[in-house]
Chain A
């Protein structure tokens, strides 16, 4: 099974940068995903990492260190619409996803 930890809540100011950390312990690893979920809506895909390093997609970047069991999602130039929950998910050796409980990010003006 998987043990996936991420902070429960974070607050930041519009225009700022926020980094959401995720640590995991796995019995197998086949990639790490980040999803965004607005209140009352379905999760939507943000990023995917399978090799160590940084993946950048516009204002969002995701980093992975497999040896440390660690990832982070970096949100730059925060906008009010970025207020949401961010879910870290690890794909195991059976190719199934296990999710962390999610980090609720609140962006304040």
Chain B
């Protein structure tokens, strides 16, 4: 079934630990995105990639890094987790970045940093 998968589904992480959230899409979409969703704040863009081999910073990039080695995968790494990074993380993809090219979202990763 075509779509976006994220792993893990949920995670409890000790502060200071390194963590990589995985995201894979099989729709051959060019653009991919990472958002965090916090109560009352809505979805905020962390990092994005318009095409394989390129990445860019979103609204809240500090403490996070990404890579885009190929079209399908877009992992998000927390180098040293802090409690303020407790959130729900959504990966999304779109065929392009213009027109009615909507973003499709993965099921999310629920992260608790203690």
- A-B complex is real: yes
Count of CB-CB pairs between chains A and B under 8 Å = 47
Interface contact A33-B102, CB-CB below 8 Å: yes
- Would A99 and B44 count as touching, CB distance under 8 A? yes
Stretch of B11-19, B20-28, B70-78, B105-113 on the interface side: B105-113
| In contact, B102 and A42 (Cβ under 8 angstroms) | no
What's the interface size class on B, roughly? 20 to 34
Contact B108 A42 (CB under 8 A): yes
In the complex, the answer to whether B103 meets A42 with C-beta atoms within 8 Å is: no
- What residues on B are CB-neighbors of A4 within 8 Å? 42
Q: Are A96 and B48 in contact (CB under 8 A)?
A: yes
Partner of B45, one of A30, A43, A96, A102: A96
- B98 and A95: CB pair below 8 A? yes
- Name A residues whose Cβ lies closer than 8 Å to a Cβ of B: 1, 4, 30-31, 33, 41-45, 48, 50, 87, 89, 95-102
Name B residues whose Cβ lies closer than 8 Å to a Cβ of A: 33, 35, 40-45, 48, 58-59, 90, 97-100, 102-108
